[in-house]
Structure formats: C-alpha cells, structure tokens
Amino acid sequence: MKKSLSGVAIIVIIVVVLLLIVSWGVGIYNKIVPLNEKVASEWSNVESQYQRRADLIPNFVNTVKGAAAFEQETLTNVIEARAKASQITVDPSNITPEQLQEFQAAQGEISSALQRLMVVVERYPELKATQNFRDLQVELEGTENRILMARGAFNDAARVYNTFIKQFPNSFIASLTKFKERPYFEAQEGTEVVPKVEF
C-alpha cells in the first residue's frame, strides 16, 4: 500500500512540475505576442506615412509641371523613384534585414529625387509663390517629419521586442515558437559625414 502511495505522490509531483513549466512557458509566450504585435503595428504606421508621401507626390509633380516649363528629367526621376518604391512590399511578420534595407533604399531614392526637385524649384520664384505649391510643400515636409517619427517608434518597438526574446529563458521559448529578431531602420550611408557649408 505504501509503495502505491509513494508512486502516486511521485506522479502528482511530476504532473505539478510539468504544469508549472508549461504555465511558465505560456506566460513568456503571452508576453512575446503583444511585443511582436507592437512591432507589426509600428511597421504599419511607417508604411502609412510612406504611402502618404507617395500619394502627395503626383499632386506635387503636377503642380510643378503646370506652373513652369520644368526640367522633364527631374520630374521623371521623382515619378520613377515613386513607382519603384511602391513595388516593394515587406511582410511585417517576417521582415528580414535585407528586405528592410531594400525598402529603405527605395524610399531613400524618393527622398533624394524630391530634394533634387526642390533645388530645381529654387530657379522658379513664380512657382514658389503659388499657394498650391506652398501647401503641398508644407504637406511633404510634415510627412517627412511623420516618417522620421514612425521609423523611430518602429525601432523602439523592435528594440523592446528583440531585447525580450534574447533574454534567457525567454530566448528558449522564442526559438521554440519561431519568433525571430526584427531589424532596425538605420541611417543612410554618408549621413555620418558633416556637410561643408561655404559662404
């Protein structure tokens, strides 16, 4: 009789230990899920701001084109950069550093094309004086600021998520459930060099 009671006690202890381990793992998993969702949500915000910019570009280009006999090559560069960037899609649940780099490079081409366009616009004071142009310019500048903020929020969410899944024992549960590290937005090449200002 004592042997069967001790056998039952051992089984009960094993079951309790297993239940504790499973509940511990479920607890960690349930913390990873909202962190992962936060990263995906912040990615959606980034995409939304880039889409906002892409939606403004045709109006901006048409305003510039309609107000001046403008350099066609500059306008074409802006339109082509926008088209190229809109073809790149990134799955936020499975984003890789390479995909993010490709996305960032395409968006950088739009920024560069818009900067060149703004330099050329300086030669047309009558264009800069139109209300429609000024309104669109303010919208684009505001959107660029929103993009920077959205990218920063994405990086913050990715950092919190990455830190959590890298900590032991969370890393064990993360690897079992296939949660992977998320990449960060990085500064464009050359931004670490201070520009020369000459008067």
- pLDDT tens digits for range 110-158: 998 888 888 888 877 777 778 888 888 899 999 999 999 999 999 999 9
Q: Token pair of 166, please?
A: 């890298």
Look-up of token digits 């912040």: 42
The boundaries of the domain holding residue 122 are 42-176
Element (H, E) at 52: helix 2-67
Read off the pLDDT of each residue in 56-81 and give the average, rounded to a whole number. 80
The number of folded domains in the chain is: 1
Q: Roughly how many angstroms between the first and final C-alpha of the chain, as a whole number?
A: 99
The answer to whether residue 116 is domain-embedded is: yes
pLDDT tens sequence across 4-16: 778 888 999 999 9
Question: Does some domain include residue 138?
Answer: yes
Which pLDDT does position 67 carry in this prediction? 62
Q: What is the pLDDT of residues 20-33, one digit of tens each?
A: 999 999 999 999 99
| Residue 135 belongs to a domain | yes
Task: Report the pLDDT value the prediction gives residue 116, as an integer from 0 to 100.
Answer: 86
Residue 194 has pLDDT above 60, yes or no: no
Q: Look up residue 140 and give its amino acid.
A: L
CA 151 – CA 148 distance, rounded (Å): 5
Q: Sign of the CA dihedral 186, 189, 194, 199?
A: negative
Is 5 a domain residue?
no
Q: Report pLDDT for 139.
A: 92
User: Domain for residue 168, yes or no?
Assistant: yes
Task: Output the pLDDT for position 134.
Answer: 86
Q: Which of 42, 31, 82, 78 is nearest to 185 (CA)?
A: 42
Output the pLDDT for position 155.
Answer: 96
pLDDT of residue 192: 46
Which has the closest alpha carbon to 93: 35, 139, 141?
35
pLDDT at 2 over 70: no
Q: Average pLDDT for residues 170-194, to the nearest whole number? A: 81
Asked if residue 121 belongs to a domain, the reply is yes
pTM equals 0.83
19 is a domain residue: no
CB 67 within 8 Å of CB 130: yes
Is the backbone peptide bond immediately before 169 cis, with ω within 30 degrees of 0? Answer: yes
Helix (H, G, I), strand (E, B) or coil at 127: helix
What is residue 95's three-state secondary structure?
Answer: coil
Q: What is the reported pLDDT for 61? A: 85
Q: What percent of the chain has pLDDT over 70?
A: 88
Give a yes or no: residue 11 inside a domain: no
Check pLDDT > 70 for residue 199. Answer: no
CA distance 177 to 79: 42
